[in-house]
Amino acid sequence: PYGWVEPEKYFDPMTYGSKDFGFHTEIGMPVVSTAASVRNMTGDEPEWPIGGAWYHHDWSERGNQAPQNYKAAIAARLGDSGDLDDFARKAQFVNYENTRAMFEAWNQNLWDNASGLMLWMSHPAWHSTVWQTYDYDFDVNGTYYGARSACEPLHVQADPVKWQVLAVNHTSTDLRGATVAARLFDLTGRQLGTTRKARLDVERAATAKAFTAEWTNDLPDLHLLRLTLTDAKGREVSRNTYWRYRDTSALRTLNKARQVKLTGDITKVSRSGDRHELTATIHNRGSAVAAMVRLSLLEEAHGRRVLPTLYSDNYLWLLPGESRQVTLSWPAEACSSRHPVLTAQAYNSPVTTLRG
């Protein structure tokens, strides 16, 4: 499919018009990027509501990408949008969730009539509203990180149909003595039930089933499933957070979630050579889960984005009191400031600015 479908549909080979997954060479959907990138796209034309400039950049409601279905999916999950910033933030949930599901469907069926999946276009030749993992101006959205999560060399995942949890090993080395753990949380960060664990071995270029993290009637309509994969030495090699909803409208609970406070520290800055790099730690100081924390490097506060910037992780879910270390790097010529700032914003938080 070139248009949006429910994430669980990717796990059904009939979605691709076949009884097998095989080697699938074209898949994609509409992708609305960050608000800043969309403003670059619309230029001096109206940015909202969706109109002329959008249609000129592939928002074709008569084409096979059917962006109206994508827009409806965003509204079904998080409600109608009041402006571009609101729509772009909500779009990242769908971007991330669907793209992760595309590749995790292939992981689940790896080598059982499933050998490969290719996205239809990864980088458009001009500003676009469809079929992109990163933007014409090199900004990155939820699609990029959903794909990268599912495609990491060692990965832990669960399918959105039966919630079978499995570990995936895309490397050339067997993974011995690994541990898969699953924990459930409500939006306050309170753990629901006990941690479930399984110890397993995962052969090279293979998968291994751990257990099923099934739904039960006592679970909230919206909650988090946090999966981790650790190696024999206890080092975390994969972390995957699912927002599970009994009905798509349950995700709207996030619109009423407690506001959280993000803080952070830039612990290391390197300016040697033709690339610059910094390491930062993002903290959730609030009493609720910080949802989809987006990081963005700017030349100065409220200034120009530094593009392209590579982030070791982005669009994070942080539990109350939880921290996450990230590393950023960018070409020296991409930033004229010697002291760029890093911004962090959750769906339920104001913008936090970190300075090195």
List the domains of the chain with CATH numbers. 7-150 (3.20.20.80), 154-256 (2.60.40.10), 262-355 (2.60.40.10)
310 pLDDT above the threshold of 90? yes
Q: Do the beta carbons of residue 130 and residue 31 sit within 8 Å?
A: yes
338 pLDDT above the threshold of 90? no
Q: Residue 119: helix, strand or coil by DSSP?
A: strand
DSSP code per residue over 195-226: EEEEEEEE-TTEEEEEEE----TTS-SEEEEE
Determine the residue type at 29: M
Question: In angstroms, what CA-CA distances link 26 with 131, 278, 304?
Answer: 10, 36, 34
| C-alpha 197: how far from chain center | 24
Neighbours of 180 (CB within 10 A): 25
Closest CA to 229 of 172, 160, 168, 186: 168
356 pLDDT above the threshold of 80? no
User: How many residues are recorded in the chain?
Assistant: 356
What average pLDDT does the structure give for the chain?
A: 96
What pLDDT is recorded for position 56?
96
> What is the arithmetic mean of pLDDT over 203-229?
97
Alpha-carbon distance of 157 to 168, in angstroms, equals: 8
What pLDDT is recorded for position 90?
98
Alpha-carbon distance of 28 to 119, in angstroms, equals: 6
Alpha-carbon distance of 129 to 41, in angstroms, equals: 9
Query: What is the maximum alpha-carbon separation in the chain?
Result: 57
271 pLDDT above the threshold of 90? no
Among 123-127, 129-133, 200-204, 245-249, the least confident range: 123-127
User: pLDDT > 90: what percent of the chain?
Assistant: 92
The burial of 19, by beta-carbon neighbours within 10 Å (0-12 exposed, 13-18 middle, 19 or more buried), is given as exposed
> What is the arithmetic mean of pLDDT over 250-259?
97
What pLDDT is recorded for position 273?
86
> What is the arithmetic mean of pLDDT over 10-15?
96
User: pLDDT > 70: what percent of the chain?
Assistant: 100
Closest CA to 306 of 295, 314, 318, 298: 298
Neighbours of 135 (CB within 10 A): 25
Question: Which residues, including other chains, have CB under 8 Å from residue 187's CB and lie 6 or more apart?
Answer: 220, 222, 223, 224, 253, 254, 257, 258, 288, 289
pTM summary value: 0.97
Among 15-29, 47-61, 72-86, 152-166, the least confident range: 15-29
Cβ-defined contacts of 303-306 (< 8 Å, 24+): 303/337, 303/341, 305/36, 305/137, 305/139, 306/330, 306/334, 306/335, 306/340
> What is the arithmetic mean of pLDDT over 270-287?
94
What pLDDT is recorded for position 181?
98
Q: Would you place residue 125 in the very low, low, confident or very high pLDDT band (cuts 50, 70, 90)? A: confident
The DSSP bridge partners found for residue 223 are 244
345 pLDDT above the threshold of 90? yes
- Mind listing the pLDDT tens digit for each residue in 70-117? 999 999 999 999 999 999 999 999 999 999 999 999 999 999 989 999
- Mind listing the pLDDT tens digit for each residue in 139-148? 989 999 999 9
Handedness of CA 195, 196, 198, 203 (dihedral sign): negative
> What is the arithmetic mean of pLDDT over 50-73?
96
268 pLDDT above the threshold of 90? no
| C-alpha 23: how far from chain center | 24
> What is the arithmetic mean of pLDDT over 34-39?
96
The burial of 148, by beta-carbon neighbours within 10 Å (0-12 exposed, 13-18 middle, 19 or more buried), is given as middle
What pLDDT is recorded for position 122?
83
Q: Return the HEC string of 218-276.
A: CCCCEEEEEEEEECCCCCEEEEEEEEEECCHHHHHHHHHCCCCCEEEEEEEEECCCCEE
Alpha-carbon distance of 322 to 78, in angstroms, equals: 25
- Mind listing the pLDDT tens digit for each residue in 234-249? 999 999 999 999 999 9
